[in-house]
């Protein structure tokens, strides 16, 4: 890239130096009468009168910047503010699109029902054992017969219902519990002095993915085969 400077700059040059300029204002190396002395004067003049720090380079020729340093800084700050606003708006748009994508995902199809297949007597804090042969419905396979617990596959609102029945002339007491068993979300009770009795409860609970829900005995209890446990997914929140 070469630097060209107009030959008609505001300075006094010899006529011989002016003769070195063509009609387009550019220096002519082979102009008639253009002596080495004139060329040297021309070059000396150029370097004395141009502040090269203010030259803005282009593909063809430089131009002299007329902006002051303060104006240049102000321009950069303005550009920075505009870019910051653009980035902020784009980040908000990304979050909006993520939310739309999440809403567009199909809802999980989760529902189960298990029914006790045999009479059982449990001590306090034992899990009511609904095994694989007791499963009536298990859409989504969220109920695990190996530990007799429901394992939440996706965060959201769930509905649970259980009914326990006592053996004849006995008591049956149980809790609907979550996770470690200390989070009680429902109480079940059935008692009859001379016959069978049943008692139930239903709850809507907000669960996180990985939470577990199951039926736990409360004191020593005698459960009849009509006892059951059911649950289903309702919505995201």
pLDDT tens for 4-58 read 444 444 443 444 444 444 544 444 444 444 444 434 433 333 434 444 555 554 4
Q: Write the pLDDT tens digit of every residue in 99-134.
A: 888 777 777 899 999 999 999 999 999 999 998 999
Cα distance between residue 41 and residue 21, in whole Å: 13
In Å, what is the CA distance from 64 to each residue of 41, 45, 195? 22, 16, 106
What single-letter DSSP state applies at residue 54? G
Residues 51, 40 within the same domain: yes
Q: Is residue 10 part of a domain?
A: no
Q: What is the CATH number of the domain that holds 142?
A: 2.60.120.40
More confident residue, 4 or 220: 220
Q: Is residue 171 part of a domain?
A: yes
Arithmetic mean of pLDDT, 146-165? 96
Arithmetic mean of pLDDT, 128-151? 95
Residues 155, 204 within the same domain: yes
Residues 44, 101 within the same domain: no
Residues 122, 212 within the same domain: yes
CB 107 within 8 A of CB 233: yes
What percent of the chain stands above pLDDT 90? 51
Domain closes at, from 105, 126, 157 = 105
Q: Is residue 5 part of a domain?
A: no
Residues 151, 218 within the same domain: yes
Region of 33 please: left (phi>0), alpha (psi -120 to 50) or beta: left
Q: For the chain, what is the mean pLDDT?
A: 79
Q: Is residue 72 part of a domain?
A: yes
Q: Which domain holds residue 25?
A: 15-66
Residues 210, 161 within the same domain: yes
Cα distance between residue 211 and residue 214, in whole Å: 10
CB 213 within 8 A of CB 150: yes
What percent of the chain stands above pLDDT 70? 72
Residues 60, 96 within the same domain: no
pLDDT at 9: 42
Residues 90, 124 within the same domain: no
Residues 87, 119 within the same domain: no
In Å, what is the CA distance from 220 to each residue of 45, 100, 183? 109, 50, 20
Residues 32, 129 within the same domain: no
More confident residue, 209 or 75: 209
Residues 115, 131 within the same domain: yes
Q: Is residue 211 part of a domain?
A: yes
More confident residue, 55 or 176: 176
Asked if residue 175 has pLDDT above 60, the reply is yes
Q: Is residue 8 part of a domain?
A: no
Return the number of other C-beta atoms located less than 10 Å from residue 130's C-beta.
Answer: 24
pLDDT at 66: 53
* Tally of domains in the chain: 3
Cα distance between residue 113 and residue 134, in whole Å: 9
Residues 72, 133 within the same domain: no
Q: Write the pLDDT tens digit of every residue in 207-217.
A: 999 999 999 99
> Whole-model pTM?
0.58
Q: Can you list the alpha helix ranges (DSSP code H) found in the chain?
A: 15-18, 36-49, 69-104
């Amino acid at each position: 890239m070469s630097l060209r400077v107009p030959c008609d700059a505001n300075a006094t040059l010899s006529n011989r130096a002016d003769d070195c300029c063509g009609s387009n204002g550019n220096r002519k190396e082979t102009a008639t009468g253009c002596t080495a002395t004139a060329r040297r004067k021309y070059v000396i003049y150029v370097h004395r009168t141009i502040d090269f720090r203010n030259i803005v380079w282009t593909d063809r020729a430089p131009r002299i910047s007329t902006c002051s340093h303060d104006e240049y800084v102000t321009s950069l700050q303005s550009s920075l503010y505009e870019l910051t606003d653009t980035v902020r708006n784009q980040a908000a748009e990304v979050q909006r699109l993520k939310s739309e994508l999440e809403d567009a995902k199909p809802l999980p199809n989760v529902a189960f029902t298990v029914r006790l297949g045999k009479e059982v007597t449990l001590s306090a804090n034992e899990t009511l054992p609904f095994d694989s042969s007791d499963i009536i419905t298990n859409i989504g396979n969220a109920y695990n017969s190996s530990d007799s617990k429901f394992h939440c596959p996706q965060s959201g609102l769930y509905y649970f219902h259980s009914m326990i029945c006592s053996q004849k002339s006995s008591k049956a007491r149980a809790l609907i519990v979550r996770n470690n068993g200390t989070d009680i979300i429902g109480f079940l009770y059935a008692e009859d002095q001379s016959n069978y009795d049943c008692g139930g409860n239903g709850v809507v609970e907000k669960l996180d993915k990985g939470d577990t829900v199951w039926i736990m005995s409360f004191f020593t209890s005698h459960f009849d085969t009509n006892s059951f446990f059911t649950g289903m997914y309702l919505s995201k929140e």
